Every structure is written in C-alpha cells, then in structure tokens.
C-alpha cells in the first residue's frame, strides 16, 4: 500500500510539469507568428473593407453572392489563411463589379 501512495503523490508534480511545458510551447508559438500577420495584413484589412463596401452597394442579385464571398474571406482571415481570404475578397469585388483599389504599400504586402 505504501508504493501506491508514493506513486499517487508524484502525479501532481508530473501534471505540473506537463502543464508548464504546454504553456511554454503555446507562448513560443504565439511569438513565432509571421510579421505580416502581426502587423495587420492588407488582404485581411484593406481588401476586406473594400469587398464589404462593394458587397453592400451591389444589386440585389449580386449582393447575397458577394456577401457570401466576404463572409468566407473573413473566416479564412481568422484562420490565418490570408492568401485564400484575398481570393474570396477579390471574387466579391468581381461579383459586385468593382475594381480593387491598390496602393504601393498594399502591393508590397502581397
């Protein structure tokens, strides 16, 4: 019975070590995100705003389709997939019949 108690007493220490390791790894992953994702990527900021505005101003038949593209793009941004999100936002602009407005800094962020 003594050996069962001693192994039971070691469990909280082992659990604490595993928990500390998991927290350290999570912190490491948070600091390892790409710089463009931390600074706010044009594709998920400026392009998303353009697509949202274009979707609101689209005709009735085009509005629902454009809004679906924008919604999907925003979900992709939240998932960290800026490239796929940009494709959705550009599709929304195309459906709405609006050209993308680009500046030099926006082109550099691609």
At 41, the pLDDT band (50, 70, 90 cuts) reads confident
Query: Among 36-50, 54-68, 80-94, which is the least confidently predicted range?
Result: 36-50
The residue range of the domain holding 22 is: 2-32
Domain identity same for 7 and 60: no
Domain identity same for 60 and 14: no
What is the number of other CB atoms lying within 10 angstroms of the CB of residue 50?
21
Domains: count for the chain: 2
What pLDDT does 60 receive?
Answer: 85
Domain identity same for 42 and 96: yes
Residue 55 has pLDDT above 50, yes or no: yes
Buried b (16+ CB within 10 A) or exposed e, 80-101: ebbebbbbbbbbbbbbbebeee
Residue 109 has pLDDT above 70, yes or no: no
Domain identity same for 26 and 42: no
Burial of 42 (0-12, 13-18, 19+ CB in 10 A): buried
What pLDDT does 3 receive?
Answer: 52
pTM, rounded to two decimals: 0.58
């Amino acid at each position: 019975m003594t050996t069962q108690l001693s192994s039971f007493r070691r469990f909280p220490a082992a659990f604490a070590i595993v928990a500390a390791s998991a927290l350290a790894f999570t912190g490491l992953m948070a600091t390892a995100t790409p710089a463009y994702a931390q600074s706010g990527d044009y594709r998920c900021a400026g392009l998303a705003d353009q697509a949202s505005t274009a979707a609101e101003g689209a005709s009735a038949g085009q509005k629902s389709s454009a809004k679906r593209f924008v919604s999907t793009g925003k979900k992709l941004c939240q998932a960290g997939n800026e490239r796929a999100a940009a494709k959705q936002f550009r599709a929304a602009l195309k459906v709405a019949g609006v050209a993308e407005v680009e500046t030099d800094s926006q082109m550099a962020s691609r």
